[in-house]
Structure 1
Amino acid sequence: MDISVKNISFSIKNTVILSDISASIASMECVGIVGPNGSGKSTLLKCIYRVLQPDAGEIFFDGSNIKNMTLKESARAVSVMAQDNSYAFDFLVEDIVLLGRTPYKKMLQFDNEADYKIVKNALKTVGLAGFEKRNFSAISGGEKQRVILARALAQNTSCLIMDEPTNHLDIKYQMQTMEIVKKHKFTSIIAIHDLNIAALYCDRIIALKDGQIVGNDVPEKLLTPEFIYYLYEVLSEVHMNKKTGKVNIIYMPSDSNICK
């Protein structure tokens, strides 16, 4: 599924969060959204997955304006791994992952054997086989992140939106999470702080600053020391890894001479 964002703007009271954002994501493309805190990354994602309604502009899924789609139709097209995954009540891990099957249910329809099989396979994929009957509140933050990824996999969509998906994860599961996304060939849009993870796994990076797109290119071209300094005011060295063909970023102390 391809996604097109056209001239999206969003404000809260008199504060502009997004200003005239336009971008296209091709089918099965993995696009990273980077930028400093407050740049509008999460707001842009929320507009795409319909938690927020933009003040202006339009969003299209495979050429269809999402304004003309029901929420259930959107949920069958796009799954979401958001930052906040807290629940007011305690649930079993199995129950959380089963929520991914909701868009396919009629009112009051019960989960069936096929749903439970999908849940089991999704948990196995994220390395949590056997966690079905564990209490969600009793597992670690990293395990909760993987449960939410399993829920997204169980939703069986062609597009996955992820907001800081590697938070709380150790290095192994950061990489495993991204490899799962790449293996499933989603159209994926991922807000991410770790530029090295973004460079390693994203086909393209869109950079936001002050609610505007300030960069849009493949990681090897976009992530230069000069651009990283412009975006984050952090000094860095950028090297090409000969084995992976990907850039690797080394951050430098502020008294370095790079970019000065």
Structure 2
Amino acid sequence: MGKATNRSALFLDRAYIDQKFVELRSDIMATLDAKFRMVQDRENKIISMLGGAQTQEKRAVKAPVEKQPSVSDEINWKVEMRRRVDKMVKEYPELYADFNTVLRRVYVKMRDVYGFVSEQAIKEYRNAHPGIERASCLDAVSDSPQWRSIFEPVLSNLEEDSRKEMERRRMAAEAEMGKTRQEIIQPLIEARGDKSNYGCATYTLVKGRLKKKGVLYTNYEEGYRRDTGIKRHVSNGELIENIPALKREFAKAVGELLAEQKVVKHDGD
């Protein structure tokens, strides 16, 4: 048998050691679990932030603009014709009392020259569009390419005639106010750029327009000689200055030519 020593014997309890290992493993697992949860929370936060940015981006994208239905040629044409007719009523109240006054003038011209019958046109329009309760003659015309092609030039001619008529009236009024023939014709001479002596070329032009309208100086000359007893030569200028009726016709012809000259100049510009 061995000898006893003073060194304390160290006894290790295996159960105690196993318990400590279990506690240590639990601590390690708890620490790892906490770390995992921290990382997972960060990832969720990042994903949430990215998702919000994508949502904002989607909101920033504008919805595609819906294509508006196109307006038909018939409607565009009718709107334009109404605008032109309204303009005529506004500019020439002395000639046209209202919108329908202009249209009646156009329809009468279409009837007399092209055989247009408004009642028949409206009837055909209603047959083609049975769902329409009320229909105007302008509706019927706008629905027919044939009548549209006739209506528009007739309206254009009426616009031109209206300008001429108003210019004739203006010049005739000036003649009534005592203006001389030279004062009456001078605007036309200047508008034409006439460089002939005293505007002789323009006087000849006006004389031709009067002749075209059946106004002849010779017809007035006979009455003038009879009323005055003059035997000598009488110039056209003298007739114009002394016969009010001829002076008015002269002024009207000047006004008409002046209106045409303005249109030509405008088209040239």
Whether the TM-score (by the shorter chain) exceeds 0.5 is: no
Give the TM-score range, shorter chain.
Answer: under 0.3
Tell me which of the two structures has the higher relative contact order, counting C-alpha pairs closer than 8 angstroms and 6 or more residues apart. Answer: 1
Q: Which entry has the higher C-alpha Rg, 1 or 2?
A: 2
Q: Hey, which of these two has a bigger chunk of strand by percent?
A: 1
Q: Hey, which of these two has a bigger chunk of helix by percent?
A: 2
TM-score, reference length from structure 2: 0.26
TM-score, reference length from structure 1: 0.27
